[in-house]
Amino acid sequence: MNTETFLQAQLARPLTHRVTTLYASGEVKTHDTRSLGAAENFAKGESRKIGRDLIDRATGKTVHVVAVMVDVLEVA
């Protein structure tokens, strides 16, 4: 299997899990993944930010992370 075939096969897999990050301002950001392991790995990185004041890259404003959750998406 060559690299192109492998990448096409990976991209064809459905998104199965969503990591949701909640901010004190009420803003919500999500990140969809193709496996539980990937979702847990991303959530671990996000959970390190809980309770910290950070600068939002998109707006430049200070944000405060409140919670991080991993949810299962409906697969059709």
- Tell me, what's the pLDDT at 58? 87
59 or 20, higher pLDDT: 20
Distance between CA atoms of residues 37 and 27, nearest Å: 25
pLDDT of residue 11 exceeding 90, the answer is no
Asked if residue 8 belongs to a domain, the reply is: no
How confident is the model over 41-53, as pLDDT tens digits? Answer: 999 999 999 999 9
Domain hosting 37: range is 20-72
Asked if residue 7 belongs to a domain, the reply is: no
Give the mean model confidence (pLDDT) for residues 39-65: 94
- Tell me, what's the pLDDT at 74? 83
Asked if residue 2 belongs to a domain, the reply is: no
Asked if residue 55 belongs to a domain, the reply is: yes
CA neighbours closer than 13 Å in the CB half-sphere of residue 15: 10
Asked if residue 39 belongs to a domain, the reply is: yes
